[in-house]
Amino acid sequence: METITLTKAELALQLGHSMHELRSYVRQYIQVKIKEHSVNITFEMLEVMSFIWKKDGSNQQEIADETLRDKSSMTYLIDNLVKRGLVKRVEDENDRRNKLIFLTEQGKALKEQLNPWVAEVYDIAIADLETASLQDSVVLLNKMIGSLKTNKSQN
């Protein structure tokens, strides 16, 4: 088995590809679970719900920032969540520009069903890993994000 030495730049490209690949496997795993149990929700809606479960009553812009989406995607996604009876839109009395998003009882209940699947797929993925090396990688990715943010604000 030969060892191929990659340059730093080549490793960066590989990292990008592996991130993409990992995310697509996680997505696939969750989507299979959703379909097997006939839950009427998409992966994207789950990402949004996951944030709302952590912080009920945010406005749409905050949810968009946190889930890394455009605010116009959020209008559409929240529309669909409202249609499914999982959240409700409430106009902010203190700032009438904001629409605050609150969980319905149904939305709260869904958490108990869906969160275990998310935990499950990550559990499988990290089974053979050391906590420390996992932490190192989080730190590394966050450094990369930081470098790109800094560069952006310089221009």
Applying CB under 8 A, the residues found at the interface with a second copy are 6-9, 11-16, 18-26, 29, 68, 118-119, 121-129, 131, 133-138, 140-145, 147-149, 151-152
Residues 6+ apart with CB under 8 A from 45: 77, 80, 81, 84, 86
Residue closest to 88 by CA, chosen among 37, 38, 128, 52 = 52
With contacts defined by CB under 7 A, how many residues of the chain interact with DNA? 31
Minimum CB–partner distance for residue 82 and a second copy (Å):
24
Q: Estimate to the nearest angstrom the gap between the alpha carbon of 54 and the chain centroid.
A: 12
- The site string for DNA over 22-61 (x = CB under 7 A, - otherwise) reads --x---x--x---x------x-xx-------------xxx
CB 104 within 8 A of CB 87: yes
Amino acid at site 86: L
- Work out whether 89 is an interface residue with DNA (CB under 7 A): yes
88 exposed, middle or buried (CB, 10 Å; 0-12, 13-18, 19+)?
A: middle
Residue 56 or residue 62: which is nearer to DNA going by CB? 62
Beta bridge partners of 59: 100
CB-wise, 82 or 118, nearer to a second copy? 118
Q: Which residues bind DNA (CB under 7 A)?
A: 24, 28, 31, 35, 42, 44-45, 59-62, 64, 68-78, 80, 89, 95-100
